[in-house]
Amino acid sequence: MFFLNLSAGEFLALLGALGGLVTALYFLDRTRRKKIVSTLRFWTPAHSAEQQQSRRRVNDPWSLLLQLAGLLLLLLAMAELEWGTRERLGRDHVLLVDSSAWSADTAAGTRETVLAREKVVAGQYLAAIPSNDRVMLVRVDGLTTPVTPFTGNRGELRSALAATASSFSALNLEQALSFATQAQTWSNGRKGEIVYVGARLVEDDTSHVSRPGNLRVLTVDANRENAGIRSLSVKRGERESNSWQATVALKNYSSSVRPVRLLTQFAGTRFAPRAVMLKPGEQTAVEYDFVTHTGGELIAHIETEDGLASDNRATLQLPKGGPFRVAVFTDRPETLRPLFTANWRMNVEYFSPAAYSTTKFDADLVVIDRFALSTAPRVASLWILPVKGQSPLPVKTLVKEAVITNWHGETALGGGLHAKEARLPSAEVFEIFEGDTAVASVAEGPVVVARAATASRPKIAAVGFDPLSPALKFEITTPLLFANLLHWLSPEAFRTFELSASSVGGASVTLDPSERAERIRVTDAQGISVPFTVRSRALQFFASRPAIVHVVSDDRERILSLTLPDVAELQWTPPAEVGREVPPASAMLPAAVDLWKWLATAGALCLLAEWILFGRQRSFRFGKNAAAGRGSVPPGSPEFPSRSTPQSHNPQPNTPQPKVMAS
């Protein structure tokens, strides 16, 4: 017999203190209370004889005994008294069930998956431990996820175990063991075992992982006869606007040579299958070049006989391609042509100004060179020397022989523009409003202005001078200014896409030196921000489950399809001294008998009996007294009848007498 929460000394001290308090309260309850009265003349000596009783005398010994007994039993219940030895006390175990990517592989020598086998082994362990042992079930893969608290409810544990499914990430053993150790410390119970059930396949070296002394490893070996896709990446070709380059990385995880047939298709079109012979542990890359201007799904699939099917297929969603269409309305196309040929993603068409209203054109950007329009274009537009009075941006004044005094380098549009005192034979000075961006200014005001798009109006940029005039034609600033304006008007034309499919878990993207960390956004497919870090030009984030993540910087977008399993390649070897088998039920000591429920019930019964026998009577009497409060005379008194019959104060109502008061 032992107390779970208290030592015998602590228990006795607590009992003594509370028992003394109860006894003191008992006597205090019976202490004479003082009361001031109008007179003492009606208290007879017969009453005073009763006062000879000592206040220290226990009038209701059974009441006190029942109270003390109830207190004792309740204290014992609170101390969780158990019948047995301390060694039979229940313990707290942490059961780590490996749900990493390898748990979906076929278990060695069986047709079951590793996870199904793990569930069987974990169930055997739960059956072997004593019934009053508590277990916390934890699912471990790339993340450590507690599924249940410490509980003795085997049904709850088995339900949680049955609901466990394989994930796509690799096992993080260090994190799992660290969590289990902390959980046992925080449980404040008797420490049990930390039991790992799984294939022991980890991604990183585990030599530095500290292993708790109470560790038990129940290994469920995986077949590991697997070959799979490690990654699938796609990027645009450098020379042609619609060309793409896809790379599929394949790996053989097994210990034998495996033939693999790689099938690839895009938007329903199959590419020629390729047969690859992979040596044990070999990883190879297969490249495809293809040209398309449409979007679609790129699928890479391998045909091989293995147990892990989740890495046999990778998909990528390619964005809609196609060139950026620019319509230039000018009467000097040859002069403007060099400005637009620098970017091969642009498909530029030249029209005469008169064709604006007569020709049907389809463009993403319109360039208006020195003429007025009756109707404004519905797409982004770049105006060169617009006609005063019909300019989309109001022209404030015309100036002659002006000098550009300020290239607004603090804005993105003015970046890199540093021409010193560029002289303009004539220029239009624009009036700017809130939201407008001045790119270049003369003394009288801005001469290059950009106006951002609104819901009803596309982007507009206007150049208030002729950049191709003989004075400016050979300035290096001119193509840079156009490049900046075109980049601002149509950033999509300059953005490069990189798409890759890789494994779930930690992802790393190498950034270009020009990419600034504060201008990078990382979002998932729903547009929700994903936390990331940038360290040494490497952007890192973690995905615990399959996801599509967009990494967007200034003119670059990377789409990472993290849908492949993170297949670990190393096998962890636990120390030789740890237990490796499910312990037999006989090895566990029988459980101690828990008595607190019975003790609590008995204590409550004692207090209930005390109340029925003594307390209820007391409260009943008090209640009766209170009920007799507001009547002046009890009904039974002949001299003072009840208040409802005040006239009966006079015992002789029929005697004719004058009245004291009369109306």
Partner 1 sequence: MTEPIVDRRFLERLERLTLHWQKSFNGLVGGHNLSRFSGPGQEFLDHRNFDQGDDLRSVNWRAYMRFERLFVKMFQIEPRVPVRLLLDVSVSMTVGNRPGDPTKFEYARKLAAALVYVGLVRHDSILLQPFSARLLDPFLASGGRHRFQAAEKHLRVLEPRGKTSYLETARQFLGEYPQRGLVIIISDFLDDEDCFRPLQYISDFGHEIMLIQVWGEDDRSPSGKGEMELIDAESGALFKIELDDEARAAYTTSFDAHAADLRKLALRNGGRYAGLSTSMPVDEALFGPLMMIQGG
Q: Given the rule CB under 8 A, which residues bind partner 1?
A: 30-44, 46-48, 50-51, 53, 55, 618, 621-622, 625-626, 628-634, 637, 639-640, 643, 646-647, 649-653, 655, 657-663
Q: Which of 107, 124, 194 is nearest to 158 (CA)?
A: 124
Q: Residue 528 has which token pair? A: 């929700």
Q: CA 549, CA 265: separation in Å to the nearest integer?
A: 22
Q: How far is the CB of 190 from partner 1 (least distance, A)?
A: 50
Whichever of 31 and 536 has its CB closer to partner 1, that residue is 31
Residue 28 Cβ vs partner 1, minimum distance, rounded to whole Å: 12
CB nearer partner 1, residue 360 or residue 659: 659
What is residue 56's DSSP assignment?
T
CB of 33 to partner 1, least distance (A): 5
DSSP of 236-270: E-SSSTTEEEEEEEEEE-SSS-EEEEEEEEETTEE
In the complex, least distance from residue 611 CB atom to partner 1, rounded to whole angstroms: 17
Which residue type sits at 108?
A
The DSSP element (H or E) to which 604 belongs, if any, is helix 596-610
Helix H or strand E segment including 216? strand 215-219
510-525: burial string, b at 16+ Cβ within 10 Å, e else = ebeeebeeeebebeee
The DSSP result for 159-193, as a single string, is HHHHT----SSPB-HHHHHHHHHHHHHHH-S-EEE
By beta-carbon proximity to partner 1, the closer residue of 36 and 528 is 36
- Least distance from C-beta 27 to partner 1, angstroms? 11
- Residue closer to partner 1 by CB (options 423, 618) is 618
* Shorter beta-carbon distance to partner 1: residue 514 or 652: 652
Closest CA to 521 of 531, 511, 512: 531
Q: Count other Cβ atoms within 10 Å, centred on residue 95.
A: 27
Q: Which is nearer to partner 1, 185 or 617 (CB)?
A: 617
Helix (H) or strand (E) holding 491: helix 491-494
Work out how close the CB of 648 gets to partner 1 at its nearest, in angstroms, rounded to a whole number.
9
> What element of type H or E holds 32?
none
Q: Which C-beta is closer to partner 1: that of 470 or that of 638?
A: 638
Query: In terms of CB distance, is 48 or 294 closer to partner 1?
Result: 48
Q: Cβ of residue 154: shortest distance to partner 1, in angstroms?
A: 56
CB of 61 to partner 1, least distance (A): 16
| Phi and psi torsions of 384, nearest 5° | -110, 120
